[in-house]
């Protein structure tokens, strides 16, 4: 019906919304509507709760107060609020990275049964970045030394983060020159909290410059560490066939869904699901097998490395449960709506939280640590199997869509024959006009998946290669853009190149921390062309973003030299100074800036113009 079509473009989403209504399940869209109209001051970034002389609001129309009790004006309040969003986002990605480093350290010490070093080559390569001698050394010793060196990146003992030196030299020089070279991951987050305390940094420009440094400590620090260590522990992704949408759930099998971000838990769950002993138990209970599926980024991690199918992205996470087909959902952290337990309570689904730092109402808490993960995973999978017989009515209304995932930089370069040169040649010849990272979340302010899918379609039909991550990547998989045949959606040049390589025109590069992979790819292109990232015909877009993590991603992407178009407007319109700096002034500082355009058709035009301009500056054909 019309209401469902207004909320989402996906068929499974529409049908399950109807089911949710019948089952009297409240969803994210209902709660969004109940919040309308949302607070105008907060929307513009003009409300402040930083201290208890407040809370304060600055009147955007100039009639009421123009300053908070402390004297902060709209510029200061907006900049402070934005910086705190960056700090929270950077903290989320980086703490995720830290958890992986801790597992690496435990593996080195033999205290993490079930975990191991899967990619020896990558271990050595990353260790070399940290100046760790690897020749003839025991891999576990290398792992221990690397984990230790990475832990130093989080602290305050360094002048520069280690992996920053993988950026093009020009970029590093620029960061040094403007004083935004990140020093320590935790240090920059902590300094943001200090600077934004009442009575510390009250220069909106200096606040935002530090915000850039903080975001860079995420992109070239915490997120990059998360990606690299995940590859070391679980393998560097290579292309694999998979499937997406709620149709990946199976009526005749035990369905276990993992939701969240960190592969530390989901990898162990996957191993348990594959064990013959568990399969036997499932059969005894009348199921044809055990079906593991993902939601959000921990799903993306499994999809990238093992081809595990994807049940849905952020906004359908509640709806996945309304199928009545999920025996157990196991969550770690980030983007897990606190309503999930309420939804599950209407079905037989068991909800399990696993992280010492993330609890949820209506979930059973079973804490994972490196030393108990393998055993606990088996226990949970057993409980899921035993729950199969408690199923009520099952409703899986669609067939899954095929997709190929697993495009790490390593496999993209390998597919090109070992160097990025063929891609550069294709760009120079105008067959591929440029490349765009379409990333980020869903947000009920934008029709679910409409932003991602529309923008991606417009880009590929104009011969622009799309790489994607996160919930955007799941949207594009559901839309059918990730099979070899999807070259039919592409313009003639992109179709020719992708067709000859046998790859789709939209490459799934992973989870949200894997945006670091896109930085590495952009950096490799810039280095091969002996230039800076900001000179390349590249762009990024977050058409449906919602989270603080996305703010950090957007800022480090722009600070890395990539024009970035946001769908939803960030809470900054209360300060025209901040708006002008972010959407224009930054061009003179870091060679890139933000655009904001909620309509993906228009965003596509903005991005095409930008790519044309970059091509022209490089002397490339139109
Ligand atoms: Fe109000 Fe200033 Fe306190 Fe913010 S920091 S709540 S603007 S007094
Ligand atoms: Fe994510």
pLDDT digits (tens, 9 = 90+) for 217-237: 999 999 999 999 999 999 999
Q: Which atom of ligand 1 lies closest to the CA of 51?
A: 3
What's the confidence (pLDDT) of residue 174?
98
C-alpha 195 – ligand 1 centre gap (Å): 14
SS3 sequence, 378-440?
Answer: HHHHHHHHHCHHHCCCCCCCCCCEEEEECCCHHHHHHHCCCCCHHHHHHHHHCCCCEEEEECC
Q: Which atom of ligand 1 lies closest to the CA of 198?
A: 5
Q: Which ligand is nearest to the CA of 49?
A: 1
Average pLDDT score, the chain? 97
Q: Which atom of ligand 1 lies closest to the CA of 77?
A: 7
Q: How confident is the model at residue 3 (pLDDT cuts 50, 70, 90)?
A: confident
CA distances from 462 to 160, 201, 601 (A): 40, 45, 13
Tell me the percentage of the chain whose pLDDT exceeds 70.
Answer: 100
pLDDT beyond 70 at 428: yes
Q: Is the peptide bond before 69 cis (omega within 30 degrees of 0)?
A: no
C-alpha 440 – ligand 2 centre gap (Å): 7
Pocket lined around ligand 1, Cβ cut-off 6 Å = 48-51, 53-56, 68-70, 72, 77, 198
For 527-551, what is each residue's pLDDT tens digit? 999 999 999 999 999 999 999 999 9
Query: Average pLDDT, stretch 403-425?
Result: 95
Q: Which atom of ligand 1 lies closest to the CA of 55?
A: 6
Query: Average pLDDT, stretch 120-141?
Result: 97
What's the confidence (pLDDT) of residue 335?
98
Beta 240-244 vs 401-405: how paired, if at all?
Answer: antiparallel
What's the confidence (pLDDT) of residue 541?
98
Q: Which ligand is nearest to the CA of 546?
A: 2
Query: Average pLDDT, stretch 75-98?
Result: 98
Q: Determine which of 1-15, 555-569, 574-588 has the lowest per-residue pLDDT on average.
A: 1-15
What's the confidence (pLDDT) of residue 149?
97
Which domains does the chain possess? 2-57 (no CATH), 74-233 (1.20.1270.30), 246-390 (3.40.50.2030), 408-617 (3.40.50.2030)
C-alpha 266 – ligand 1 centre gap (Å): 42
DSSP of 566-594, one letter per residue? ESSPPTTTT-HHHHHIIIIIHHHHHS--E
* Residues 6+ positions from 428 with CB-CB distance below 8 Å: 620
pLDDT beyond 90 at 2: no
Name residues with Cβ closer than 5 Å to ligand 2, which is an ion: 297, 470, 512
User: What is the arrangement of strands in the sheet containing 506-510, beginning at the earlier edge strand?
Assistant: 506-510, 464-469, 434-438, 538-542, 564-566, 594-596
C-alpha 159 – ligand 2 centre gap (Å): 30
Number of C-beta neighbours around residue 421 at 10 A: 15
For 350-403, what is each residue's pLDDT tens digit? 999 999 999 999 999 999 999 999 999 999 999 999 999 999 999 999 999 999
CA distances from 421 to 129, 407, 412, 414, 467 (A): 23, 17, 12, 11, 18
pLDDT beyond 60 at 21: yes
Task: Calculate the CA 579 to chain-centre distance.
Answer: 25
Helix (H, G, I), strand (E, B) or coil at 622: coil
DSSP of 51-92, one letter per residue? SSS--EE--TTSSS-SB-TT--BHHHHHHHHHHHHHHHHHHH
In the chain, how long is the greatest CA-to-CA distance?
A: 72
What's the confidence (pLDDT) of residue 156?
82
What's the confidence (pLDDT) of residue 6?
95
Q: Which ligand is nearest to the CA of 46?
A: 1
Q: Which ligand is nearest to the CA of 468?
A: 2
For 265-318, what is each residue's pLDDT tens digit? 999 999 999 999 999 999 999 999 999 999 999 999 999 999 999 999 999 999
H-type alpha helices, 261-416: 263-274, 276-284, 296-306, 317-321, 340-344, 373-386, 409-415
C-alpha 298 – ligand 1 centre gap (Å): 38
What are the backbone angles phi and psi of residue 372, rounded to the nearest 5°? Answer: -110, 0
Task: Calculate the CA 69 to chain-centre distance.
Answer: 38
For 309-344, what is each residue's pLDDT tens digit? 999 999 999 999 999 999 999 999 999 999 999 999
Ligand 1: residue of 41, 47, 48, 76 to mutate (most ligand atoms within 8 A of CB) is 48
Q: Which ligand is nearest to the CA of 332?
A: 2
Ligand 1: residue of 45, 53, 79 to mutate (most ligand atoms within 8 A of CB) is 53
- Give the C-alpha separation, 113 to 374, whole Å: 7
C-alpha 443 – ligand 2 centre gap (Å): 13
Helix, strand, coil abundance in the chain, percent, nearest 5: 55, 10, 35
Considering only CA atoms, give the Rg of the chain.
Answer: 24
C-alpha 289 – ligand 1 centre gap (Å): 58
Q: Which atom of ligand 1 lies closest to the CA of 76?
A: 7
For residues 98-120, b (16+ Cβ closer than 10 Å) or e, as one string?
Answer: bbbbbbbbbbbeeebebbebbbe
Bridge partners, 57 (sequence order): 47
């Amino acid at each position: 019906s019309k209401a469902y079509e207004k909320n989402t473009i996906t068929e499974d989403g529409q049908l399950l919304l109807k089911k949710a209504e019948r089952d009297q399940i409240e969803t994210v869209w209902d709660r969004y509507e109940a919040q309308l109209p949302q607070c105008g001051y907060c929307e513009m970034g003009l409300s402040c709760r930083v201290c208890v002389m407040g809370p304060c609001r600055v009147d955007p129309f100039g009639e009421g107060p123009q300053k908070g009790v402390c004297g902060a004006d709209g510029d200061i309040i907006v900049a402070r609020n934005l910086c705190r969003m960056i700090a929270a986002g950077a903290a989320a990605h980086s703490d995720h990275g830290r958890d992986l480093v801790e597992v690496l350290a435990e593996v080195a010490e033999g205290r993490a049964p079930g975990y191991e070093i899967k990619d020896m080559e990558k271990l050595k390569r990353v260790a070399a970045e940290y100046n760790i001698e690897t020749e003839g050394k025991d891999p576990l010793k290398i792992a221990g030394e690397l984990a230790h060196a990475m832990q130093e990146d989080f602290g305050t003992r360094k002048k520069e983060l280690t992996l920053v030196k993988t950026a093009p030299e020009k970029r590093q020089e620029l960061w040094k020159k403007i004083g935004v070279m990140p020093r320590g991951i935790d240090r920059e987050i902590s300094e943001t909290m200090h600077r934004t305390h009442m009575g510390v940094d009250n220069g909106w420009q200096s606040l935002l410059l530090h915000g850039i440094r903080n975001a860079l400590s995420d992109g070239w620090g915490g997120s990059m560490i998360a990606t690299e260590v995940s590859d070391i522990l679980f393998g560097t992704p290579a292309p694999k066939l998979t499937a997406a949408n709620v149709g990946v759930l199976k009526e005749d099998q035990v369905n276990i869904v993992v939701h969240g971000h960190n592969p530390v838990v989901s990898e162990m769950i996957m191993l348990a699901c594959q064990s013959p002993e568990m399969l036997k138990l499932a059969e005894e209970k009348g199921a044809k097998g055990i079906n593991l599926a993902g939601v959000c980024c921990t799903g993306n991690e499994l999809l990238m490395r093992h081809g595990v199918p994807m049940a849905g992205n952020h906004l359908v996470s509640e709806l996945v449960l309304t199928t009545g087909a999920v025996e157990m959902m196991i969550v770690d952290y980030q983007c897990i709506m606190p309503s999930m337990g309420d939804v599950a309570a209407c079905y037989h689904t068991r909800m399990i939280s696993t992280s010492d730092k993330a609890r949820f109402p209506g979930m059973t808490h079973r804490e994972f640590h490196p030393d108990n993960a393998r055993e606990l995973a088996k226990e949970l999978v057993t409980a899921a199997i035993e729950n199969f017989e408690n199923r009520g009515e099952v409703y899986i209304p669609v067939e899954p869509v095929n997709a190929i995932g697993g495009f790490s930089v390593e496999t993209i370069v390998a597919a090109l024959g070992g160097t990025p040169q063929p891609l550069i040649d294709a760009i120079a010849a105008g067959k591929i006009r440029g490349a765009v990272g379409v990333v980020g979340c869903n947000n009920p302010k934008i029709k679910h998946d409409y932003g991602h899918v529309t923008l991606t379609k417009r880009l590929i039909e104009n011969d622009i290669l799309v790489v994607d991550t996160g919930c955007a990547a799941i949207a594009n998989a559901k839309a059918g853009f990730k099979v070899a045949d999807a070259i039919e959606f592409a313009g003639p040049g992109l179709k020719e190149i992708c067709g000859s390589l046998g790859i789709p025109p939209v490459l799934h590069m992973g989870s949200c921390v894997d945006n670091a992979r896109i930085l590495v790819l952009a950096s490799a292109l810039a280095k091969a062309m002996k230039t800076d990232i900001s000179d390349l015909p590249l762009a990024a877009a977050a058409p449906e973003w919602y989270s603080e993590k996305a703010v950090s991603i957007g800022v480090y992407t722009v600070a890395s030299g990539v024009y970035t178009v946001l769908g939803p407007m960030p809470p900054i319109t209360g300060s025209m100074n901040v708006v002008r700096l972010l959407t224009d002034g930054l061009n003179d500082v870091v060679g890139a800036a933000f655009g904001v355009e909620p309509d993906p058709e228009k965003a596509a035009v903005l991005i095409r113009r930008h790519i044309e301009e970059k091509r022209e500056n490089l002397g490339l054909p139109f």
